[in-house]
Amino acid sequence: MAVVAVQCPECGSREVVKYGRQLNGEQRFRVRIRTASGGSFSCRSKTKGGCRKSNGKIVDMALHGSGIRDTARVFGVSPTTVIATLKKKPLGFTR
């Protein structure tokens, strides 16, 4: 039997317990000792475009002249996701 160490993405604690399942069947967890966040989380995100790290990189690629399709191909997300991310973030220049 394999053991997977689960860590809270907010506080980094490894003191987690199972907390039910999502509608898609994915296991949910929560921190045993409640902290300020107090919410539950899953082990990994199914969507690649929703990650905060990739959102910043999508904006950086747009500023450096990469196209929408190229950016979508690099991150493995839909071009619609790239467009939605760029609409949400200010691109750093004003008129």
DSSP string, 16-60: EEEEEE-TTS-EEEEESS--SS--EEESS-S-STT-HHHHHHHHH
Same domain, 35 and 61: no
Strand partners, 69: none
pLDDT digits (tens, 9 = 90+) for 39-60: 777 776 555 555 566 677 888 8
Last residue of a domain, one of 15, 30, 46: 46
* Domains contained in the chain, number: 2
pLDDT of amino acid 85: 84
- The reply to whether 95 falls in a domain is no
- The reply to whether 10 falls in a domain is yes
Same domain, 18 and 56: no
- The reply to whether 40 falls in a domain is yes
State yes or no: pLDDT of 30 exceeds 70.
yes
Q: What is the domain range of residue 4?
A: 1-46
Same domain, 56 and 41: no
Sign of the C-alpha dihedral computed for residues 1, 5, 20 and 22 taken in this order: negative
